[in-house]
Amino acid sequence: MQQFIKSHSLHVIAVVLGVFVVSGVGYAYRTLRADIDHLTAERNALVDSARIAAENFRRVTGENTGLTETLRQTEDANTNLSTTLQSEQEKNALFESQIRDISGTVGTLQKLSETDPELLMKYSKVYFLSENYIPAHLLPLDERYLLNTSRPEQVQAETMPFLTRMLVEAETSVGPLKVASAYRSFKEQASVKTGYSVLYGSGANRFSADQGYSEHQLGTTVDLTTPTLAGLSLKFEDDPAYQWLAANAFRFGFILSYPPDNAYYQFEPWHWRFVGVALATSLHASGKHFYDLTQREIDGYLVSLFNQ
């Protein structure tokens, strides 16, 4: 009997354990299944998200491709615009240069039209000045620059500042220079030539121009001397004032018209003509003289005659 009870008890325990086992397995299964379902749902959600992301990527990629093409087209357009702009800028630069050239030409022509062409003509026995020619503007020289203060002397107006600067600097460097003679009219030159002809006969032709051929009629020529010499003399060549003029007069636009061995008159160390700084400087640098040049060469300096 005890053996039976024991056996029966063991059977009951086994059954109970089996129930517990089955119950536990069922619970574990249900839990696992729930987890599997949850994970499946998450996977499906992730798949959907990945699909949407892939679609978005394809869409964005397509948009980027379009944007890239648009950007390329824009860059091409910018390149074309830059090329066009550069071309227009070059055209504008050319136009500006042409306008400057035209303005310069107009300015030059205006300046030439306002400058008396007679002032650079080769008059000594070459060209003739009319008896009616008088410089457009004449100004009286300050008495302090005159050798003879009782006789007024005039100089062409635009020449005056160049002459006075030269006289001032000469006085500072070597002592005073005086103007013995400046502008002479056609009639005054005729009177001077007549007086010399009476004294020297035909020999006057070696140092005195006939009326109409004198540079003095231009108003740009002066005869210079010193208070010591008190007149026109070949001795002026040996004076420091002449040496200073020979070395410096070009800086003020003056040249010696009749140097030694010229083809027109005897050497006149006192006779200085204003031809402008540019031409005087060129002659000084080349060792040439005014009458060595052709009139065409000289005329090229007319526009710069009164330039400083």
Give the best-scoring range by mean pLDDT among 22-31, 97-106, 182-191.
182-191
DSSP state of 238: G
> pLDDT by residue (tens digit) across 109-163?
455 557 899 999 988 777 788 899 999 899 999 999 999 999 999 999 999 999 9
Angle (CA) 33-35-37 rounded to 5° is 70
The strands making up 254-256's β-sheet, listed across from edge to edge, are 178-181, 221-225, 271-274, 254-256
Taking residues 53-79, report their average pLDDT.
74
Contact 182, 141 (CB under 8 A): yes
223's enclosing H/E stretch is: strand 221-225
Record the pTM: 0.64
Contact 217, 184 (CB under 8 A): yes
